[in-house]
Amino acid sequence: MTKSRRKKVKGERLKVNTNDLMTNDIMTENMKWNADLYDQKHAFVFQYGEDVLQLLDAKPGEYILDLGCGTGHLTQQIQSKGAKVRGTDLSPDMIAQAKALYPDIDFAVEDASDFFTNDDNKYDAVFSNAALHWVKFQNGMMRSVYNSLKHGGRFVAEMGGKGNVARLIEAIQLVLQNHGYQVQADNKVWFFPSTGEYAKMLEEHGFRVTYTAHYDRKTPLQDGDQGVAKWVTMFGAQYLEGIPDDEKQQILTEITQKLEPYYNENGQWYADYKRLRFVAVKE
């Protein structure tokens, strides 16, 4: 990248209007989400998940749990295969949107790390896409999933893997530190494990891991140089908690500037995603 290009990047076009991005419905510690913004600007989350559905291979008549179902788009696709499906999510906003979109599907607000399934309602499979890295109590989640499955039932999921959005996290932390927000910079928002680490955890909870993969998935961001700010606002809002609105705008602009050499490819911006995918069976 040329010096003139770098100067242009630091100019007016990278200023971000946080008044257009930040709302009271954006995710907080209590997992409150703006479901409309999620569907409109971050549809790639469930669109990429369509590929994971092939790994699930839902069969007619199977009873399947979509864990961390968001606004229910993949839940509906599982049902379209003839399966009986239930979708759960910790976010009331997401579940409300899912119920409005797909009123014939069973949706419920439920904590992935602590849920109970009685013996008469065990699942043939538990499916999850882009949700497990949000779960802080992983042991509770794995125990709940294991107990919810029939013997021989499968746990099929994709989540952020080791190194996921590493450049983005590094840029966020550096800018926050430069502005004196060390507490925010130290936030541990996600859990991105390696294949070995996660397989070991699953095995310790009684699963047999039959498939696992860790791979790079360069992910396009919408709205050009506004994409980074919108991503951070949607998925990394915890980093911005307690920061005045006018300073948030400057911080988001500086984060975007630091990522521009790595994320901007001829005007299309991409995030450095790395995904972990697995199938585990209850023995």
Domain map (residue ranges) of the chain: 25-164+191-239+268-282
CATH topology (fold) of 25-164+191-239+268-282: Rossmann fold (3.40.50)
**pLDDT per residue over 60-106, tens digit each?**
999 999 999 999 999 999 999 999 999 999 999 999 999 999 999 99
Closest by CA to 204, choosing from 148, 143, 124, 130, is: 143
Q: Which amino acid is at 41?
A: K
Ordered per-residue pLDDT tens for the chain, 283 residues: 433 333 333 333 344 433 333 222 223 334 444 444 544 444 444 455 578 899 999 999 999 999 999 999 999 999 999 999 999 999 999 999 999 999 999 999 999 999 999 999 999 999 999 999 999 999 999 999 999 999 999 999 999 999 999 999 999 999 999 999 999 999 999 999 999 999 999 999 999 999 999 999 999 998 889 999 999 998 999 999 999 999 999 999 999 999 999 999 999 999 999 999 999 999 9
The tokens for 143 are 């125990």
**Contact call for residues 62 and 40 (beta carbons, < 8 A):** no
CA distance 14 to 33: 25
**pLDDT per residue over 101-142, tens digit each?**
999 999 999 999 999 999 999 999 999 999 999 999 999 999
Question: What phi, psi does 214 have (nearest 5°)?
Answer: -130, 120
The predicted structure's pLDDT at residue 47: 54
The predicted structure's pLDDT at residue 10: 33
Please, which residues have CB within 8 angstroms of residue 56's CB and are 6 or more apart in sequence?
A: 64, 78, 125, 127, 154, 156
The predicted structure's pLDDT at residue 223: 86
